[in-house]
Structure 1
Amino acid sequence: MEPWKIQALLAALFAGLTSILAKSGMKTLGPDVSLALRTSVVFALVVANAFVWTSGRPMEALAAARPRDLLLLALSGLTTSLSWIFYYRAMKTGTVSFVALVDKGSIIITLLLAFLLLHEPFTRKTACGGSLILVGIAVLTWK
């Protein structure tokens, strides 16, 4: 199997665990403090990871980056932060299975934006898969 497929499967596994662990850990903490703690751990691990994979020279990689790339990555960080803030607030009072399900609806937004902005192929297979995801979300959220 190609490395990116294994990495994607691991990402899905860890994303699934993330929600359960976070909901379980918010028994005595509010969503904002919970998210701050989680993000601190994420920050430390991501910085350590950057040092490992750039031979200890992440600043050189940043210095060589185009300003547009840095801006887009900063905007990605902003949207990630907003997503996490609202996700944690929803999880604190909502049902984690419902919140996670609705959150995964972002796949549809990603598919559409990848097609419109990145000009990635939008095939019948992609349309069918996206439609099945939408139908699945509708079925699982229908009262």
Structure 2
Amino acid sequence: MGNAGTSSWLIWALLSAIFAALTAIFAKVGVSGINSDFATFIRTLVVVGVLAVIVTATSQWQPFSEISGKTWVFLALSGLGTGASWLCYFRALKIGEASRVAPIDKLSVVFVAIFGLLFLGEKLNSANWAGVVLMAAGLILIAWR
């Protein structure tokens, strides 16, 4: 993949990080007055609505019957993981400080590296693993008081 492909994923990844940061701030304020599980439900409805508009506006709907069983299973598992993550995240934000909760949540990066190795056979070189260790240490130091 050339520079265009590299810069494309990098831009989307950076935007993801910015929106994730804003999500933590908005969620901390939003969850203050209601039950964290109900707050997660409202957030999910907003996400579903926005995605329905985007998929409709860009004509990306696909027939459900054309989606393989394997794809359904893994998307369902991903959805369950997302739901569990959001429920835990909102509960943590309800009782903790956003500046401490968000870094611990970002330990997911470390877990992705480990799970990618174990389940997907992805390989990281020693410099990559050093980065993973440094990220873990940095995230823990940010959250620790």
TM-score normalised to the size of structure 2? Answer: 0.88
Task: Please name the residue that 2:62 is paired with.
Answer: 59
Task: Please name the residue that 1:15 is paired with.
Answer: 20
Q: Distance in 1 between matches of 2:33 and 2:93?
A: 14
- Structure 1 position 26 matched with structure 2 position 31: yes
- Structure 1 position 135 matched with structure 2 position 137: yes
Q: Give aligned-pair identity as a percent.
A: 34
- Please state how far the C-alpha of 1:118 moved relative to its aligned partner: 1.4
Bigger relative CO (Cα 8 Å, ≥ 6 apart): 2
Task: Please name the residue that 2:74 is paired with.
Answer: 72
- Deviations 1:51-99, CA, capped at 9 Å, x for gaps: 344x25x232x32221011100100000100110011111111111111
Q: Distance in 2 between matches of 1:102 and 1:115?
A: 21
Task: Please name the residue that 2:43 is paired with.
Answer: 38
- Structure 1 position 107 matched with structure 2 position 109: yes
Unaligned runs of 5+ in 2: none
Task: Please name the residue that 1:88 is paired with.
Answer: 90
Q: Distance in 2 between matches of 1:82 and 1:112?
A: 19
Alignment: residue pair count: 140
Which deviates more from structure 2 when the two are superposed, residues 26-35 or residues 88-97?
Answer: 26-35
Q: Distance in 2 between matches of 1:78 and 1:87?
A: 14
Inter-CA distance 13–84: structure 2 relative to 1 (3 Å threshold) = same
User: Root-mean-square deviation (CA), in Å?
Assistant: 1.5
Unaligned runs of 5+ in 1: none
Give runs of aligned pairs for residues 111-122 of structure 1, distance below 5 A. 111-122=113-124
Structure 1 consecutive aligned stretches of length 4 or more whose deviation exceeds 3 Å: none
Which deviates more from structure 2 when the two are superposed, residues 115-124 or residues 78-87?
Answer: 115-124
